[in-house]
Amino acid sequence: MAEDDIYTKDGTVDYRGNPANKKETGTWRACPFILGNECCERLAYYGMSTNLVLYFKNRLNQHSATASKNVSNWSGTCYITPLIGAFLADSYLGRYWTIAVFSIIYAIGMTLLTLSASVPGMKPTCHGEEKCHATTLDSAICFLALYLIALGTGGIKPCVSSYGADQFDDTDSVEKEHKSSFFNWFYFSINIGALIASSLLVWIQDNVGWGWGFGIPAVTMAIAVVSFFSGTRLYRNQKPGGSALTRICQVVTASIRKYRVEVPSDKSLLYEINEGESAIKGSRKLDHTNELRCLDKAAVIGQSDKVGASANPWRLCTVTQVEELKSILRLLPVWATGIIFSTVYGQMSTLFVLQGQTMNTHVGNSSFKIPPASLSIFDTLSVIFWVPVYDKIIVPVARKFTGHRNGLTQLQRMGVGLFISIFSMVAAAILELIRLKMVRRHNYYQLEEIPMTIFWQVPQYFVIGCAEVFYFIGQLEFFYEQAPDAMRSFCSALSLLTVAFGQYLSSLLVTIVTKISTKNGSPGWIPDNLNFGHIDYFYWLLALLSVLNLIAFLIVSMFYTYKRPVGTLR
């Protein structure tokens, strides 16, 4: 048994080329290290970000709308940088080394953020609890740290879920079924980390200090790195396929050059290599589809075209290479419908927190106060409740009716999530309507906390958690399964990009609404004192957009064609 058959160039185990080694690597035996990494990394992320809007408002002395927009912009960036990590992983480094390198950058950012909140000269100067002054340098260091974290998470987010799914073989019926279950438990591990972050760490930030509140996530991030490296010799690794951007450009260029060429009705006349694997390194061949036939021109063999090893990919592309681009283009309409859902989801870290800050945060008659951001624990508990219910109850029951291996198709699952999310905004709007009626009735305008318990926010958090289990997990699996083999990190990044655009859309909507609603001296929908505002109008706006988005999703789903990899078990 040759050593090259067992180990990849990075020293990690790869059973490809040596099937006997398959039994020693991958599957659930490798997943605990990946899930442990994700749990700890998400604990670090949410432990630092959940309460960030209040850190900006109370420590950096920013206005409510400014703090909300800054959080949305930073969160959005955290979901754009995965495009960088995905490109490097798919093209050159592979998922293993991409996760490793960017984790180090992440840890440096977490350390700097901790220093910016705890070291004199770097942290804001405070007199009392709420009267703080942050210099330009203080703010600059804080934002430098945050955007280093955004860069670091860009190499982790698009790779970890795909890397975990890589541990299961599509051509093995047992492993194929376990892969679908992996995505459920992957999201479960995310929310275990989020549960600790939104409860313990938020309380520490509000009651002990921001130095400890950011320091503990920094340590947790170090544990995430250790967990990942601990499973190195158990991992299965897919070889990088080369630059996907170059391949896409080649298909477009070749099809434009042959714009006058007729595409033959017989697909067997289109160019494809004869070998078992495709021309794309580490990728299976894709069957031809009849959509977007203009791109098929790139695979039409012309009189001057050479085939085989001497073929010029800028003039002649394989069917698989053309279908790779088609797969991405087919994903885009589905991808676009995820933006509104992400906008709704993003309210948990902005307006939900500001809304909760105006309510009674005491538990009973005790002096103990609940940090408003801690209410996101009910979103996490909802996810933790619904994941096993979905995996162990809903899937088996649905399977009897649909005959589908996973109970619901990925698009059906996502559609259910979009439908449920509407009711989260409805619940939030109704609660705010009732709260404002109490303010007007009893003249509570100047009261910091009105006598209405913050626990009335629980339903809106719980409903959005249920929607997550259907939509986000379905989206994770959908973009992994429908991605070409050599572009899976990119497609995971593409799915995460909806969260970025959702955050940016939220920021844009806040800007537009604030500009319009503050005309003629009006306090607007989202003033610093929400007792004078109308964030219920903002929630109703999001509910309406969610309804329109669901209709668009249903139309897009009706016309979607699933990709057909050669040799894959359906």
- Residue percentage of the chain with pLDDT more than 70: 92
Residue 524 main-chain phi, psi, to 5 deg: 85, 180
Instruction: Map tokens 């995430």 to a residue.
Output: 224
In this structure, which amino acid lies at residue 553? F
CB 466 within 8 A of CB 420: yes
User: Would the pLDDT of 8 be above 70?
Assistant: no
Summarize the confidence of residues 398-423 as an average pLDDT. Answer: 88
CA distance 71 to 46: 13
CA distance 408 to 417: 12
Q: Which of the four pLDDT bands, split at 50, 70 and 90, describes residue 83?
A: confident
Q: Which of the four pLDDT bands, split at 50, 70 and 90, describes residue 14?
A: very low
Q: What is the CATH number of domain 327-569?
A: 1.20.1250.20
CA distance 66 to 510: 10
Q: Which of the four pLDDT bands, split at 50, 70 and 90, describes residue 111?
A: very high
CA distance 267 to 263: 9
**Domain 8-240 = CATH 1.20.1250.20:** yes
> Furthest-apart CA pair in the chain: how many Å?
86
The tens digit of pLDDT for each residue in 273-329 reads 876 666 777 677 888 888 888 898 888 888 777 877 778 888 888 888 888 889 889
User: Would the pLDDT of 148 be above 90?
Assistant: yes
Q: Where are the alpha helices (DSSP H) in 390-487?
A: 395-402, 410-442, 458-482
CB 110 within 8 A of CB 538: no
Around 496, how many Cα atoms within 13 Å sit in the side-chain half-sphere? 30
Number of neighbouring beta carbons within 10 Å of residue 136: 7
Around 101, how many Cα atoms within 13 Å sit in the side-chain half-sphere? 17
CA distance 102 to 82: 10
Summarize the confidence of residues 157-165 as an average pLDDT. Answer: 85
The tens digit of pLDDT for each residue in 467-509 reads 999 998 889 888 888 888 788 888 888 888 888 788 788 888 9
Q: Which of the four pLDDT bands, split at 50, 70 and 90, describes residue 18?
A: very low
Q: What is the DSSP letter of 296?
A: G
More confident residue, 11 or 317: 317
- pLDDT for position 466: 93
Both tokens assigned to 351? 């307006």
CA distance 47 to 382: 18
The ranges assigned to domains in the chain are 8-240, 244-326, 327-569
Strands (E) in 14-91, as ranges, are none
CA distance 357 to 450: 10
Residue 201 main-chain phi, psi, to 5 deg: -70, -40
Report the mean per-residue pLDDT for the chain: 83
User: Would the pLDDT of 570 be above 50?
Assistant: no
User: Would the pLDDT of 12 be above 60?
Assistant: no
Residue among 488, 570, 475, 566 at smallest CA distance from 238: 488
Both tokens assigned to 7? 């180990």
Angle at 436 between CA 435 and CA 442, to 5 degrees: 95
CA distance 198 to 201: 6
Domains 8-240 and 327-569 are alike in CATH topology: yes
- pLDDT for position 282: 66
Any bridge partners for residue 126, and if so which?
132
- pLDDT for position 7: 33
Instruction: Map tokens 């477009």 to a residue.
Output: 252
The tens digit of pLDDT for each residue in 323-370 reads 888 988 989 999 999 999 999 998 887 888 888 888 888 887 777 788
CA distance 5 to 18: 6
- pLDDT for position 4: 35
Distance of CA 357 to the CA centre of its chain: 27
CB 216 within 8 A of CB 199: no
Residue among 376, 330, 334 at smallest CA distance from 476: 334
Query: According to the per-residue pLDDT averaged within each range, which of 224-233, 274-283, 453-462, 511-520 is highest?
Result: 453-462
The tens digit of pLDDT for each residue in 50-70 reads 788 888 887 887 887 788 788
- pLDDT for position 6: 35
More confident residue, 121 or 201: 201
